[in-house]
Every structure is written in C-alpha cells, then in structure tokens.
Amino acid sequence: MKNVLIGIDVGTSGTKAAVVDTDGKILGEALVGYPVICLENGWAEQDALLWEQAVYQASGQAVKQAAVLAGVRPGDVAGICVSGLFAGSGVPLDETMKPLRNAIIWMDRRAVLQCCNTRTLVSDEELFSITGNRNDAYFGFNKILWIRDNEPDIWEKIRWLLSSNGYIVYCLTGEISMDHTAAANIGGIYDLDKGRWSYPTMERLGIRESLFPEHLMEPQDIAGYLTEEAAMKMGLVPGIPVCAGCTDCLASMISAGVFEENVQTAVIGTSINWGILHRDFPTDSRLVTMPHAIAPKILKYTYGGISSAGVLCKWFLEQVAPFTRRLGTVVETDLQILEKEAGRIPPGSGGLLVLPYFMGERSPIWDSGARGVFCGLSMKHTRAHMYRAVLEALSYACRQIRETSPVFALSGDTCIVSGGACCSGLWMQILADVTGLRIITTDDSVQAPAGDALIAGVSIGVIPSYEEGRKWARHKEVYEPDWDRFWIYDKYYKEYLRLYDATSGIVHSLADM
C-alpha cells in the first residue's frame, strides 16, 4: 500500500497520531497523554520533552496498528504533518536546541502585569490595527515578556522560541521553522494584513527578533525530511517529507470539511473555539483572529475562545464524581453514568447556574482573574444536576460568543462541530437547544491528525486539492434545536450573563488571596 500519510496532533491533553490513506480512511491510530503542570493558581505549563516522547510513542503505535490491520509498511508512508496546541510562550531553546524551561501554554494567565506594561508601549488601537488581536495575558508575546521579567538567567540563554508543532518538526527533521498560524497566535508581533513579523512592534516591546525564524511557512510547505534517528523511533524510514503544520484547531476544521467563507464551526476539546472563516480584516477586538491553514494570506479564522471545556468536564469527573460500576460483564465509566443521570434532569438543572471560568477566560470577557462559580446549589441538587449545569454553562458561553460580534451575521443557522465533545449526544443536544442552531457533528476522534494528513497529502501531490477533503469529512449526527427547551434556556441564559457581573468583584478578591 503506497502513499499513506501520517498526521500528528500535539494537543493539550495528549498527542494523537493517525495513519491515513489517500481516501481519508484511518488505518491506525494512537493517543499518548501527559499532564498540564499548574505550579500556581492560574498557571499552566507543559514539558516539551514529553511532547517529543509522546510523538514517537503515538506514531510508532499507529504505524504498528496500520501494519497489522492494513499491511502498511514503513516505506509506504509518503508524508507527515504536525499540528499543535497554541504553546503560548513557545518552547525556549538554547544554542544546543535543548528546552530551557517548560512552555507556558495558552491557558496560562500569569502575564497580567506584562499586559499592563505593554499597553503603555503600544496602544490597544494600534496593536489591533497591526495584529487583528487585542492585548491580553492570553497571547504569547506577554508570556514571553513574563520570562524576560521574571527569569532573566533563562532569558539570556534563549536562542530560539518555537511553537509546539515547530518544535516537533525540529525534532523530526533538524530544521527550524514556524508557520503563519502559530506566529499569529503569539499576538502582538505578527502583522496579520501583511502576513509577516512586525519587527517595529518587537523592538518597542523589547522582544529580540532573532528569537524567531525570519521566514514564515504556510502549513503545507515542506519544512524538512525525517532524520534517521527520528525514523528509528517512529518505526519509519528516513527521508519522508515533513510539513510545517499549523495550530491544532485549524487541522480539526480541515478534517471537518470547513474550507469556505461564512461557515460557522466549533472545535470543542480541552477548550472551545467557536468561529467563522472570512476574508476581511477583523473589526471586533473581543474575538481572536488567525490565518486559516488553507490559503493563510487570504482566509482568516475569527473565533471566541472558551478556556475550560473538556478539561472542566475532566476535572468534574475526577474531583467531584469519580466512580465506576459493573453491570454483569459491562463496566460503565464515570462519563457514561453521568451522561445517563444528567440526561434525566430537566433543562436549567433545577435552578443551578455555573460560570465555567476555571482557568480565567478569553473571549468575550477577557478576564484573567475570573474563576468558576456554582450558583443556586441546594440540598436537592445531585452530581447529575451539577454535571448538566456544567454542560449548559459551556453552551451559554458559546451563545455569548455568537451574539458578541456581527461577524457571525452571515453564518446561517448551522454550526459544524468537531472534537471530543461530539461523543456526548447530551452535550450536543443542549448546545443546539441553547443556541437555537442546527448542530452537525463530525465522526472520528482523531480529527486533527486526519486534517494534518490531508495537508501532507496536498503538499506532496498525492491528493490533488483540499476539495478532495470534503470526501474525508464524515458528518456523524445532526441535532435540531427544540424550541420549547430553547425558550426555557433563554431565561437561564439571561441570568447567566448577569451572574458574571454580579460575582466578578468577589471572585477577583478571592483570586488575589
């Protein structure tokens, strides 16, 4: 079997790898997890060496599975592409290309002081006119400056700052690269309109331009070729072309068949990105904008970002409701049990509201000091009420993003959803009922790696164009809104919006303590 492709996604909760044929069929897949390191309240870091190990392990396991199930041989692999989480600060590397510290990832909120300081150097209006994004502790340029201000010994030793996918591409090829989507996610120092670094802004902010590769690549550009050492660790042959890759949510969108303007789409995994593709320069600083992986100098992806989604569900399962039960020979997991229990609870969770800001929040409130709130708890509430209230809160947050900006005006009444949340029929129905939208979910839990594989296939020419990817997109279920439930949720949604304003002062005081 010739011309199979490997897609690798370095995500926040783990690295997924998939071996895919040119028709989009998954021949082998694997997932290797790793932790988020939270040293302080509001901090979030990850060890890039664990990313690298996970890439070798997941790829090797996927290749072995493809060999057993489909007869794939190492020499059949024609191309590789890597996507990755937005790594915030990036991976700080010394002259020998060894990481000097953990990467400060996207969900970290520590750089509040740096945000205030950079605002005195470049006004919010000017920064938005250059980058299409706001000044916030979420963006990588402030996290980079936190390292400069708080770890001067490390700062002086940094030779390169690479994105998560850029670091893995280096590990696989020995070549240094960065793609447009990763550069834009640093914020502050990327000129969105011109599609290049904004060196004048770097100088004003005090960030050395030599820390980044000068030439930015498109995701499908070949960044290098698999080295002998990396090939041995992955069970492959050396010399396979490796693409520059992109930010992971964009790879998921590609696998879902989202290529056109004005298509509303959401990627719901560890976090939520709810957005739309368009061509014009963004007009709303409450949202985030980056180039799309396809035609990054033409198409833009503007979205609202919810920091705690799947990770909040995981926290609830582990900390509030951890148990399993055996029914004969069948073992039900925590999630399966909770889904059944919560599915029997009426809309509104018995008068219970949640603010899902467990790691601060991005769009549209942009509040590093925000924290989670359960409001309305009583003795009648069960863990099922609480879990359903979490899913409802995340759906309210999606509705708030959609209603924040006129960019969604042309998006119609449908949203294509990809990511791990598609496995929850309960969540997807709640999302449809809260937003009033038709929710179309996509099949297959390896969506981002499938998008990566499509990028690799187009890059090396074994797939003629991205249009072929429409055949890869496997839409799974369609959830129509129930309008009786919508009007019930509409009342709760209005209270949800009031709850943040009513509690933010207390929450900020508690966060400071």
pLDDT per residue as tens digits for the range 157-191: 999 999 999 999 999 999 999 999 999 999 999 99
Instruction: Give CA–CA dist 363/141, Å, rounded.
Output: 18
Instruction: Give CA–CA dist 171/97, Å, rounded.
Output: 9
Which pLDDT value is given to residue 410?
82
Q: State the number of CA atoms in the 13 A half-sphere of 110 facing the CB.
A: 20
Task: State the residue for tokens 């369609």.
Answer: 478
**Tokens standing for residue 185:** 């996610």
Which pLDDT value is given to residue 207?
97
Residues near 346 by beta carbon (within 8 Å), at least 6 away in sequence: none
pLDDT per residue as tens digits for the range 442-498: 876 568 999 999 999 999 999 998 888 888 888 889 999 999 999 999 999 999 999
Burial of 471 from C-beta contacts in 10 A (0-12 / 13-18 / 19+): exposed
Q: Is the dihedral of CA 355, 361, 363, 366 positive or negative?
A: positive
Q: What is the DSSP string of 448-485?
A: HHHHHHHHHHHHHTSS--GGGHHHH--EEEEEPPPHHH
Q: State the number of CA atoms in the 13 A half-sphere of 58 facing the CB.
A: 27
Which pLDDT value is given to residue 327?
53
**Tokens standing for residue 267:** 């990627």
Q: Taking the chain (513 residues) in consecutive chunks of 10 residues, what is each chunk's mean pLDDT?
A: 91 95 94 94 94 98 96 96 93 98 95 96 97 96 98 98 98 98 96 96 97 97 98 97 96 89 91 93 93 90 92 88 60 75 96 95 91 96 95 97 88 91 95 97 81 96 88 89 98 97 93 79
Please count the other Cβ atoms lying within 10 Å of the Cβ belonging to residue 383.
17
Instruction: Give CA–CA dist 79/76, Å, rounded.
Output: 9
